[in-house]
C-alpha cells in the first residue's frame, strides 16, 4: 500500500462526506472543491496529467462557479436550509440503500487482484500531443457530436432559465 | 505505484455510495446536484483506474473519461438551469415541495 494513495483517498472521502452532510450550501460547495481536487490528485498519481488539468479547469473552474451562482440565485439570505433540517423524511431509507450498495461493491472489489502494469512509456514525451492527435483523427466524430451536444445544452440552459411570460 | 486494483475500486465504490446517499437524503435541489456530481466523479475515476491498470499503450480510457467529463459539465449546466426555473415557479428549491405531478 502506498502512503500517498491513502492520504489522498482520505482527503477525497472527507471532502465528499462533508459535501453531502454540511448544512450550509456554500460550505458544501467548498467541501466539493476539496473533493474535486482530491480526484484531480488521483488522476495525477495515475499519470493521467491531462485529465487532472481538465478536472481542475472544468470542475473547479466552471462547475463549482456555476453551482455557486445557482446557490446565490436561489437561496434565502441566511444560506442555511429550512428549519425542519436538511434531510428529507425517509432519510434512513436512503442511508440504508447506500450502505447496502457500498457493502456489495466492496465485497466484489476485494476479489480483484490486478497489480499495476508498467508505467506508460509515452508519458515523458507528452500525452497531451497524443491526445490532441487522437481528437482530430480517430475520435473526430465523437468530438463533433460532443460539440453539438454542448451547443444544445447551452441553448437549452438559456431557454429553461429565461423569465416565464405572464 | 503498487496499489492493487481492488483498493481503487473500493475507493470509487465508497465515493459513489456517499454521493448516492446524499442524492437520496438531501432536500435542497442544489445539494442533490452536488451529490450527483460526486457520483459522476466516482464513475470517471473508475474509467481512469481501469485505463491505468489495463491499458496496452492506447489512450482510449483517457479519451472516454474526457468525453464523460464534457457530458457531465453539460448535464450540470442544464440541471442548474432547471433548478433556477423551478425556484422561480415555486419560490423554493425543496425537492419535497415539488409534487405537482403526484397522483
Q: Does A68 touch chain B (CB under 8 A)?
A: no
Domain that holds residue A5: 1-78
The per-residue pLDDT for A114 is 64
The answer to the question of residue A67 being in a domain is: yes
- Hey, what's the torsion of the CAs at B77, B78, B80, B86, to 10 degrees? 160
Half-sphere exposure of A4 (CA within 13 A, CB side): 9
**CATH number for the domain harbouring residue A68:** 1.20.120.1200
The per-residue pLDDT for B90 is 82
Rg (CA), chain A: 21
The per-residue pLDDT for A77 is 44
In a 10 Å sphere around its CB, with 0-12 CB exposed, 13-18 middle and 19+ buried, how is residue A51 labelled? buried
The per-residue pLDDT for B1 is 56
Q: Does B90 touch chain A (CB under 8 A)?
A: no
Q: What residues in A contact B96, CB-CB < 8 Å?
A: 88-89
Q: Do A81 and B28 touch (CB under 8 A)?
A: yes
Q: Which residue has the higher pLDDT, B25 or A120?
A: B25
pLDDT in tens, A142-152: 999 999 999 99
Residues 133-162 of A with CB under 8 A from B: 134-135, 139, 142, 146, 149-150, 153-154, 156-158, 160-161
Report DSSP letters for A21-55, one per residue. H-SSHHHHHHHHHHHHHHHHHHHHHTT-HHHHHHH
pLDDT above 60: residue A132 = yes
Mean pLDDT of chain A: 84
**All three cell numbers of A47:** 499519470
The per-residue pLDDT for A152 is 95
Question: What does DSSP assign to residue B4?
Answer: -
Residue A142: other Cβ atoms inside 10 A: 16
Give yes or no for a contact between A153 and B77, defined as CB atoms under 8 angstroms apart: yes
pLDDT in tens, A48-107: 889 999 999 999 999 999 999 999 888 654 445 554 455 666 778 888 988 999 899 888
The answer to the question of residue A64 being in a domain is: yes
Q: Among A1-15, A97-111, A130-144, which stretch is predicted with the lowest mean pLDDT?
A: A97-111
pLDDT above 70: residue A21 = yes
Among B95, B79, B5, B86, residue whose Cα is nearest residue B36: B79
Domain count within chain A: 1
d(CA B31, CA B22): 8
Give yes or no for a contact between B73 and B61, defined as CB atoms under 8 angstroms apart: no
pLDDT in tens, B24-36: 888 888 999 999 9
Question: What does DSSP assign to residue A160?
Answer: H
Contacts of B47 (CB under 8 A, 6+ apart): B61, B64, B65, B68
The per-residue pLDDT for B58 is 80
Q: What residues in B contact A21, CB-CB < 8 Å?
A: 22
d(CA A44, CA A48): 5
The answer to the question of residue A95 being in a domain is: no
The per-residue pLDDT for B72 is 93
Residues in chain B: 103
Residue B94 pairs in a beta bridge with: B28
The percent of residues above 90 in pLDDT, for chain A, comes to 46
Q: Which residue has the higher pLDDT, A15 or A131?
A: A15
The answer to the question of residue A141 being in a domain is: no
The per-residue pLDDT for A146 is 95
The per-residue pLDDT for A117 is 54
The per-residue pLDDT for B80 is 92
Contacts of B70 (CB under 8 A, 6+ apart): A58, A146, A149, A150
The per-residue pLDDT for B96 is 79
ipTM above 0.90, yes or no: yes
- Hey, what's the torsion of the CAs at A117, A123, A129, A135, to 10 degrees? 20
The answer to the question of residue A62 being in a domain is: yes
Distances (CA, A) of B5 to A95, A108, B56: 27, 12, 16
The answer to the question of residue A125 being in a domain is: no
How close does chain A come to B103, measured CA to CA in Å?
19
d(CA A21, CA A49): 31
pLDDT in tens, B43-90: 999 999 988 888 777 888 899 999 999 999 999 999 999 999 888 888
Q: Which residue has the higher pLDDT, A17 or A81?
A: A17
CATH topology of domain B5-91: Helix Hairpins (1.10.287)
Q: Do A98 and B24 touch (CB under 8 A)?
A: yes
3-state secondary structure of A103: helix
Amino acid at each position: 500500500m502506498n502512503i500517498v494513495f491513502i492520504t489522498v483517498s482520505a482527503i477525497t472521502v472527507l471532502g465528499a462526506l462533508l459535501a453531502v452532510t454540511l448544512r450550509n450550501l456554500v460550505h458544501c460547495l467548498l467541501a466539493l472543491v476539496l473533493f474535486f481536487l482530491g480526484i484531480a490528485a488521483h488522476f495525477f498519481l495515475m499519470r493521467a496529467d491531462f485529465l487532472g488539468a481538465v478536472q481542475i479547469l472544468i470542475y473547479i473552474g466552471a462547475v463549482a462557479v456555476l453551482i455557486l451562482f445557482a446557490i446565490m440565485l436561489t437561496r434565502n439570505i441566511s444560506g442555511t436550509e429550512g428549519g425542519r433540517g436538511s434531510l428529507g423524511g425517509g432519510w434512513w431509507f436512503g442511508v440504508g440503500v447506500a450502505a447496502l450498495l457500498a457493502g456489495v461493491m466492496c465485497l466484489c472489489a476485494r476479489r480483484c487482484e490486478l497489480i499495476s502494469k508498467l508505467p506508460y512509456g509515452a508519458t515523458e514525451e507528452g500525452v497531451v500531443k497524443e491526445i490532441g492527435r487522437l481528437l482530430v483523427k480517430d475520435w473526430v466524430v465523437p468530438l463533433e457530436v460532443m460539440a453539438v451536444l454542448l451547443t444544445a445544452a447551452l441553448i437549452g440552459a438559456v431557454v429553461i432559465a429565461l423569465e416565464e411570460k405572464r | 505505484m503498487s496499489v492493487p486494483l481492488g483498493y481503487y475500486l473500493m475507493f470509487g465504490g465508497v465515493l459513489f455510495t456517499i454521493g448516492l446517499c446524499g442524492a437520496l437524503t438531501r432536500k435542497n435541489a442544489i445539494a442533490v446536484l452536488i451529490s450527483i456530481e460526486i457520483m459522476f466523479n466516482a464513475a470517471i475515476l473508475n474509467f481512469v483506474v481501469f485505463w491505468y491498470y489495463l491499458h496496452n499503450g492506447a489512450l482510449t480510457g483517457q479519451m472516454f473519461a474526457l468525453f464523460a467529463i464534457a457530458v457531465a459539465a453539460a448535464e450540470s449546466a442544464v440541471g442548474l438551469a432547471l433548478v433556477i426555473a423551478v425556484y422561480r415557479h415555486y419560490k423554493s428549491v425543496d425537492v419535497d415541495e415539488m409534487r405537482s405531478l403526484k397522483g
